[in-house]
Amino acid sequence: MTHPVFVTQLDAYLDGELAAPEAGELEAHLRVCPDCSRLERRRRTLSVALREQLPRYEAPDTLRARVRAALREQSSHAARRRTVPWRALSVAASLVVVAVGSWQLATRNAGSEAIADQVLASHVRSLMAGHLADVPSSDQHTVKPWFNGKLDFSPPVFDFAGRGFPLLGGRLDYVDGQQVAALVYGRRQHVINVFLWPAGRGRAAGSGAREFTRQGYHVLHWTTPEYTYWVASDLGLPELRDFLVLVQRGDAATR
Amino acid sequence: MEPNELERFEAVVLPHLDAAYTLARYLMRDDHDAQDVVQDAYLRAVKYFGGFRGEGPGAGRPWLLTIVRNTANTWRQRHRADALATEFDEERHSEMVADDHPEATAVAQSERATLRRAIDDLPPEFREVIVLRELEGMSYKEISDVAGVPVGTVMSRLSRARRRLEEALCPASEDC
């Protein structure tokens, strides 16, 4: 028979958590009690099996990216809070210093900065679990019709898988006070979000792309006669520019 | 979070992502839920980091795992109905077998599958002490901090958890 007093101490003993006097007593008992020492052997066998066979999991890259994105978002909130007075001051200063007429340009730029912030926030949010695509599909003929009835425009959707930028899906998003189409493309482990909506009247069309950089993300913006485009990704700028050229050519080919 | 705080967070807490994910996997028994729990736990960790005063490279791990453990508990309570419905999920169990390394022998494979099933069938209070002790190698004191129970409770939970695993691997009547 086994001895309850020793059995309760056995695990602490094997884990090296039993005080020396008790450990000495237990060892002495194990030498003379075959039932308790059989129990000890079973525990040791189990311990080896657990250590050898219980898998440790490595966090997947997607999780790593999500955690980092969440951290960046946290720190950028703080950074924005800190920089707001300075930005306000610089806007005020530019209004004073700069001649009348250029204020229009300044406010338009401030507007772009604000939209770039929104685009980036949407991009980061999309990386969180289950938010990337409402219609996860690599088939442009599935993604494009999905927007029917959800938007009052039909966004041009392409699959650049042959060029290393596969289509991952699409979703509805909300930027600059309106519903917009968000198309999701991939590049290796990177995600690219393309936001687009009909170009408003009076906006300069066909101007070159503007580039914004925020906390390691790049945001590109350009307009065509029909659409306002915003692109966000953590992909390197040279590759993102390649992607931009593909989208611009694709867009031009639809007209 | 100030830049220097963020730097400290990245040095002290971020390196324990794998440990956090492993604990969450065992507690949630589902990859998707585990990822959500870990992300949620990191957001909480950022929030509470101001109050964390641990020193040394290892100090962040028990602190983070405490948050992961509590976050997982909150999730399980919130989704209790789902959890009960999937308690004995046939698909999950067959997936476990498929996960095994191909080079392992058939015997080792079935033993491994049996062991993982036995772990999954333990109550979460037992699962967490097994993971913290056997995989993370934590002391009883550290486990007692993470699980929020006295050291004596850690000891008895470990003992009971191991007995149940032993029974699953090798019934007491047999000599394995």
Query: In B, which residues are within 8 Å of A76 by CB distance?
Result: none
Closest Cα of chain A to B47: distance in Å? 9
Mean pLDDT value of segment B155-163: 93
pLDDT of residue A23: 92
A213: three-class secondary structure by DSSP:
strand
Interface contact B116-A54, CB threshold 8 A: yes
Interface contact B35-A42, CB threshold 8 A: no
Across chain A, what does the average pLDDT equal?
A: 82
Phi–psi pair at A230, nearest 5 degrees: -130, 135
Closest Cα of chain A to B19: distance in Å? 8
Interface contact A43-B42, CB threshold 8 A: no
Task: Kindly report, residue by residue over B69-78, the tens digit of the pLDDT.
Answer: 999 999 988 8
Across the A:B interface, residue pairs with CB atoms under 8 Å apart total 108
Cβ-in-10-Å burial (0-12, 13-18, 19+) of A128 comes to middle
The span from the CA of B142 to the CA of B127, in Å, is 16
- Token pair in block for residue A53: 């066979």
Q: What angle do CA A124, A213, A72 make, to 5 degrees?
A: 40
Higher pLDDT, A64 or B146: B146
Within a 13 Å sphere around the CA of B96, how many CA atoms are in the beta-carbon half?
25
pLDDT of residue B78: 81
Query: In B, which residues are within 8 Å of A59 by CB distance?
Result: 17-18, 20-21, 38
Q: What is the pTM of this model?
A: 0.56
What are the Cα distances from residue A172, in Å, to A112, A224, A247, B81, B152? 21, 21, 19, 31, 54
Residue of A195, A234, A187 lying closest to A72 (CA atoms): A234
pLDDT of residue B88: 41
Confidence of residue A88 (pLDDT cuts 50, 70, 90): low
Higher pLDDT, A153 or A93: A153
**Least confident among A107-121, A138-152, A186-200, B22-36:** A107-121
Interface contact B21-A59, CB threshold 8 A: yes
Q: How many helices (H) and strands (E) does chain A have?
A: 7, 7
Disruptive mutation site among A71, A80, A126 for chain B (greatest number of B CBs within 10 Å): A71
Task: Say which of A11, A45, A55 has its CB closest to residue B176.
Answer: A45
Cβ-in-10-Å burial (0-12, 13-18, 19+) of A33 comes to middle
Task: Kindly report, residue by residue over A44-78, the tens digit of the pLDDT.
Answer: 888 888 888 888 899 988 888 888 887 777 766 66
Task: Kindly report, residue by residue over A195-206, the tens digit of the pLDDT.
Answer: 999 987 555 555
Residue of B115, B120, B104, B135 lying closest to B22 (CA atoms): B135
Closest Cα of chain A to B87: distance in Å? 20
Interface contact A11-B165, CB threshold 8 A: no
Task: Kindly report, residue by residue over B11-58, the tens digit of the pLDDT.
Answer: 889 889 999 999 999 999 999 999 999 999 998 998 888 888 876 667
Task: Kindly report, residue by residue over B76-115, the tens digit of the pLDDT.
Answer: 888 765 545 444 443 444 444 444 444 545 666 677 788 8
Cβ atoms of B154 and B129 closer than 8 Å: yes
DSSP label at residue A80: H
3-class secondary structure for chain B? CCHHHHHHHHHHCHHHHHHHHHHHHHHHCCHHHHHHHHHHHHHHHHHHHHHCCCCCCCCHHHHHHHHHHHHHHHHHHHCHHHHHHCCCCHHHHHHHHHHCCCCCCHHHHHHHHHHHHHHHHCCHHHHHHHHHHHHCCCCHHHHHHHHCCCHHHHHHHHHHHHHHHHHHHCCCCCCC
Query: In A, which residues are within 8 Å of B43 by CB distance?
Result: 70, 74
Interface contact A17-B140, CB threshold 8 A: yes
